[in-house]
Amino acid sequence: MRMKIGEFANLAEVTVKALRHYHELGLLVPVHVEPGSGYRYYAVDQLARAHSIVALQSLGLTLSEIGDALAESTDAKELGRVLRAKRADLSRAIDERRERLAQLDFRLELLEAESGIAELDVVRKAVPGARALALTITGDHRMDLVVAALRDAIESGRVQFTGRYFDALSSTHGEEDLTPGRSLHRSALEVDDRQDDDVELPGIGWLRLGQEPPLKAAFTIVTHGLERADNHVRFKQLQGWSVARGHRPTGQARIVHHVGPLETRDRSAWVTEMQLGVGPGSGASAAREASERTDPRSDP
C-alpha cells in the first residue's frame, strides 16, 4: 500500500519538511516519486525506519550518525548494539558533568567558608601511619548505629583498640575536594599488634585490618564542642586556607576524634582534630610548626 507524503508524515509523527530532508540525505527514500510533479509516496513497511530515525534523533545523534547506524544495522539486534554504545557515551558525558558540578560545588563552599579562614589556628606537622581496622562508610550507613557497633566491638574485646578513633578521607572528585560525604570515607580504629584479623559488625559491615598511610605533611586544626556539620564547615575552611596559600592537597586527610562519640554523647565535650595532607606550597605558609606533642593521642 502506497501513501502520500502527508499521510505518511501523520503516521510517522514527523513533518512533511522532515521527510523531504530525510529523502535528500538518503535516510528514508520514497518507494515512488512521480515524474514531473515530484509527488512522493511511501510504503507502510517504511514506518519502522521512520520511527527509528526519530528515536535516534531524540537520543542526540546527528542525521549523519543516524545514517551510519542504520546502514550498519540490518536487524534489531545490531541496532540495539548501536543504541547501547550511544547510551554508554551519554553515561560518560553525564559522569563528566557530575564531576564538574562537584568541583563547582566545592569551590562555592570554599567561597562561602572564606569568612572564618582568618580565624584558623593552623599547625603544620607530619602524621605517622596507623595500623587500623576500618569500615568503608556509604550513604546507607547511619553514623549513630556505626558508633554503637564500634563501641560494642571494643567492649566485647573483638578489637584491640589503642584509644585512637579517626575518619580517613580519600578524594574521589579531584585532589582538592575532600569534603566528607563526597570522598571515600572510612571510620577507623587504631589497633595494636594483638589484632590479627578483620572484625564483623553485625548489620553494619566489616572492619578490615590494614595500614593507613602516613601524611608526610599536614595542616591541622583542633575544634572543641562542635557538631559534625560545624566540623565540616571548619574542614572546608582548612582546605580553603591551604589552597589560598598555594599548597595542593594530596587527596588524603583524617578527622581525629580525641574526645568524641565513642566516649560521650555530650557534643560540647568533643575535641576533634582535622588533618589535611598537603604537598609543597608555592607561597609562604602562615602555619605554626608543631615542635612538641603535649597530647599523646595527637597523631593516630
Q: Is 17 exposed, middle or buried (0-12, 13-18, 19+ CB in 10 A)?
A: exposed
4 pLDDT more than 60? yes
Amino acid at 189: L
Dump pLDDT digits (tens) for 55-89: 888 877 888 888 877 776 556 666 677 777 778 88
Q: Which of 96, 112, 128 is the last residue of a domain?
A: 112
What is the CATH classification number for the domain harbouring 233?
Answer: 3.20.80.10
Q: What is the count of structural domains for the chain?
A: 3
Among the ranges given (123-127, 165-169, 255-259, 282-286), the one the predictor scored with the smallest mean pLDDT: 282-286
239 in a structural domain: yes
pLDDT classification of 297: cutoffs 50, 70, 90: very low
pLDDT classification of 101: cutoffs 50, 70, 90: confident
Among the ranges given (51-55, 194-198, 281-285, 294-298), the one the predictor scored with the smallest mean pLDDT: 294-298
Same domain, 31 and 151: no
User: Which residues make beta-bridge pairs with 197?
Assistant: none
296 in a structural domain: no
Q: Which of 93, 112, 131 is the last residue of a domain?
A: 112
Which of 73, 4, 78, 83 lies closest to 41 in space, CA to CA? 4
Same domain, 164 and 282: yes
Mean pLDDT of the region 273-284: 76
Same domain, 219 and 280: yes
Q: Is 254 exposed, middle or buried (0-12, 13-18, 19+ CB in 10 A)?
A: buried
Same domain, 279 and 220: yes
Same domain, 56 and 94: no
H-helix segments, the chain: 5-12, 16-25, 47-58, 63-72, 76-112, 143-155, 228-244
300 in a structural domain: no
The overall pTM is greater than 0.75:
no
Cell of 186: 572510612
Mean pLDDT of the region 43-51: 88
| Residue scoring higher pLDDT (100 or 177) | 100
Same domain, 232 and 133: yes
pLDDT classification of 294: cutoffs 50, 70, 90: very low
Range of the domain at 18: 2-72
291 pLDDT more than 50? no
What is the CATH classification number for the domain harbouring 55?
Answer: 1.10.1660.10
Same domain, 100 and 67: no
158 in a structural domain: yes
Same domain, 92 and 123: no
**What does the pLDDT read at residue 173?**
52
Same domain, 206 and 166: yes
3-state secondary structure of 141: coil
Same domain, 86 and 144: no
Please provide the DSSP assignment of 286-297 as one string: -PEE----SSTT
Dump pLDDT digits (tens) for 142-195: 889 999 999 999 999 999 999 999 999 887 655 455 555 556 789 999 999 999
7 in a structural domain: yes
Dump pLDDT digits (tens) for 210-248: 999 999 999 999 988 876 666 677 777 888 788 878 888
169 in a structural domain: yes
| Residue scoring higher pLDDT (70 or 38) | 38
Same domain, 104 and 239: no
298 in a structural domain: no
Same domain, 184 and 64: no
Measured distance CA(13)–CA(17) in Å, rounded = 12
Measured distance CA(132)–CA(48) in Å, rounded = 61
Decide the pairing of beta strands 123-127 and 288-289: parallel
Distance of CA 149 to the CA centre of its chain: 26
160 in a structural domain: yes
Asked whether the beta carbons of 240 and 117 are under 8 A apart, the reply is yes
